[in-house]
Structure 1
Amino acid sequence: MLTGFHCNTLPFSCLPSRRSRTRTTDIILSALSKTPRFTSACRSSVPIHPTAFNFPTRRFSKVVSALVSEENAVATDVFKLTYLEGNSWLWDLDGVKVLVDPILVGNLDFGIPWLFDAGKKFLKSFQLSDLPQVDCLLITQSLDDHCHLKTLKPLSKMSPNLKVIATPNAKTLLDPLFQNVTYVEPGQSSEIEGRNGSKLRVKATAGPVLGPPWQRPENGYLVNSSQGQLTLYYEPHCVYNQNFLEKERSDIIITPVIKQLLPKFTLVSGQEDAVKLAKLLHAKFIVPMKNGDLDSKGFLASIIQSEGTVESFKCKIYKCYDRKFCYSC
């Protein structure tokens, strides 16, 4: 079965924010079946048979608990995924709150606003003070669209002892700001403990190389829930090392599916690469992120081209699993 959802009040959700719920992100639930089906909203549990995913029954019950409305959620291993636009997320994983690549103060301009300047379309008034108490800050890359100093400097003053897990490439940026930073190379792991006592295991994976070939790659992450029942994978450019991931599994992947292209250079991958990623990790849930969907201006913004859509990605998923038809095509 391949089922698409618009989730707006789910424990496993992709909300722009508590303030602005006018825009949602598709969650694509994929597994092998002959009858694809799409639903426009899901506020209650979704009737899916465990054998559709080749899950053990006990494990499947945990996954389905992620598709129960907030008002009725009582199960463990509940993931709430709140999209803050760009590459930014707020995750509530079993009650452990993780802030990911936040851009919440000012625009994204890489220090060259005349060349590129991007603001959010929906969360224009969202501030650091609107965040709940966060248990961990997770940084994937060292560039401004992930390690945003305009945001991190005031955040460090608010929470100087906040636990940070980051790529070593960001060490010179983060060391002056935070006192509790753990740098993890691809293959290394760290643990997060939330205020509620729940724990998460975070394992770094190899992401893109932003420089010469001998430079250390940036990070993606595999995050395991405290019960070990759900695993989430996140890498914001859909760039990954296939050999590194071939022995890994992830129930949920968060990935861009729309390519962002400069002339002769891919900024953000997606489409076929996102399909390959889903197959590689045997993903059950795919959360497409639109990290190029910003109000941007400047010369660089004028030459960045998008390739593909969420709908075309759905079609590629169908074809990958030998579907005979697709409602989106």
Structure 2
Amino acid sequence: MYLTWLDNNSWLLELNNQRILIDPWLVDVLTFGNLDWLFKASHRQDCQIPENIDLILLSQGLEDHAHPPTLKRLDHKIPVVASPNGAKVAQGLGYASVTTLNHGENFILNNQIEIRAFPGSSIGPTLIENSYLLKDLATGFTLYYEPHGEHSPQLKQFAPVDVVITPIVDATLPLIGRIIKGNKSALEVAQWLRPQAMLPTANAKETTYEGILTKLLKIEGSIADFRLLLEKHNLSIQVLEPNPGDRLELQKKFTSPKSPSF
């Protein structure tokens, strides 16, 4: 399996010869409701759009997961699997094949990859978006992805999981509270799933931010802190810290720190 982090919450997963693009924001700016005075994020340079994509996987319908300018640029013949709200975005942009996954439902990609939807991020008081468990049907290799750090106890029955992608730090706004839950949440899912590796998401290395919200946002914790937390709880899990564009090979057993693999 290969994983390429494309910064923020965007990932390219290569599993069993299938190329899955997860929550892509690759071009143009990111705003919410075109309120760039409130929040605006920009890549230092646009990401190269990956070729030969077999599936686009959307966990949410918000712009930082179902980014309209990026989805407009991608080939609309690529199949899309998405949460109900993500599916509405893709359908509105004219994608030819859009599959909506509700919690507990699954999708089989080309008889090779199973994708199962679980409850994920809470958006407002009533809306709960998706997290995903992906499984290579040939090898049994599994990967879990949730971009805001809200994890369903339903996952416990699928442990152990090989790789977990989730936030590892907290992001907090005054009066609203934690909008990204890392730290204790990441520890909890680590205890449930006992992965061999975890990778942080929802952070950024090649992105600049503007707007009122960015001045109020408070980040708590670090990858170093999380590694210590795992050690304190006797969890032997490797926390990988890729740079945007790094293509990591993961197999069933780690061979070296520079070349992580399972």
TM-score by length of 1: 0.67
Match of 2:251 in 1: none
Is 1:93 equivalent to 2:93 in the alignment? no
Is 1:138 equivalent to 2:63 in the alignment? no
Residues 257, 270 of structure 1: 8 Å contact kept: yes
Correspondent of 2:129 among 185, 195, 218:
218
Correspondent of 1:282 among 194, 198, 204:
194
Residues 199, 225 of structure 1: 8 Å contact kept: yes
* Matches of 1:126 and 1:322, distance apart in 2: 35
Is 1:166 equivalent to 2:87 in the alignment? no
Structure showing greater relative contact order (alpha-carbon pairs closer than 8 Å, 6 or more residues apart): 2
* Matches of 2:55 and 2:235, distance apart in 1: 41
Correspondent of 1:182 among 69, 87, 99:
99
* Matches of 1:283 and 1:322, distance apart in 2: 9
The alpha-carbon distance between structure 1 residues 117 and 318, as it changes in their structure 2 partners (threshold 3 A), is: same
Match of 1:63 in 2: none
* Matches of 2:96 and 2:202, distance apart in 1: 32
Q: Give 1:263 shift.
A: 1.2
Q: Give 1:290 shift.
A: 4.8
Correspondent of 1:229 among 128, 140, 163:
140
Which SS does the other structure have where 1:316 is aligned?
helix
Is 1:319 equivalent to 2:235 in the alignment? no
The alpha-carbon distance between structure 1 residues 147 and 290, as it changes in their structure 2 partners (threshold 3 A), is: closer
The alpha-carbon distance between structure 1 residues 142 and 309, as it changes in their structure 2 partners (threshold 3 A), is: same
Residues 27, 43 of structure 2: 8 Å contact kept: no
| Pairs within 5 Å for 1:32-111 | 79-110=1-32, 111=34
* Matches of 1:95 and 1:183, distance apart in 2: 23
Which SS does the other structure have where 1:247 is aligned?
helix
The alpha-carbon distance between structure 1 residues 170 and 229, as it changes in their structure 2 partners (threshold 3 A), is: closer
Match of 1:208 in 2: 121
Q: Give 1:172 shift.
A: 2.7
Residues 260, 292 of structure 1: 8 Å contact kept: no
User: Which residue identity is paired with 2:80?
Assistant: V
* Matches of 1:312 and 1:263, distance apart in 2: 23
Is 1:118 equivalent to 2:14 in the alignment? no
Instruction: Give the structure with the higher percent strand.
Output: 2
Deviations 1:64-97 (A, max 9, x none): xxxxxxxxxxxxxxx1110000110111112210
Structure exhibiting the larger radius of gyration computed from Cα positions: 1
The alpha-carbon distance between structure 1 residues 171 and 132, as it changes in their structure 2 partners (threshold 3 A), is: closer
Deviations 1:266-291 (A, max 9, x none): 11110111011011112121112252
Residues 86, 120 of structure 1: 8 Å contact kept: no
Residues 87, 99 of structure 2: 8 Å contact kept: no
- Superposed CA RMSD in Å reads 1.7
Deviations 1:217-262 (A, max 9, x none): 10000000131421000001111122x2221221110111011111
Correspondent of 2:157 among 220, 242, 247:
247
Q: Give 1:119 shift.
A: 1.7
Which SS does the other structure have where 1:218 is aligned?
strand
Dislocated runs of 4+, deviation >6 Å: none
User: Which residue identity is paired with 1:309?
Assistant: S
* Matches of 2:124 and 2:202, distance apart in 1: 24
* Matches of 1:126 and 1:169, distance apart in 2: 25
* Matches of 2:118 and 2:195, distance apart in 1: 16
Structure 1 spans left out of the alignment, 5+ residues: 1-78, 324-329
Q: Give 1:127 shift.
A: 3.2
Q: Give 1:320 shift.
A: 1.1
* Matches of 1:87 and 1:303, distance apart in 2: 21
Residues 136, 164 of structure 1: 8 Å contact kept: yes
Which SS does the other structure have where 1:254 is aligned?
strand
Structure 2 spans left out of the alignment, 5+ residues: 237-262
* Matches of 2:30 and 2:188, distance apart in 1: 30
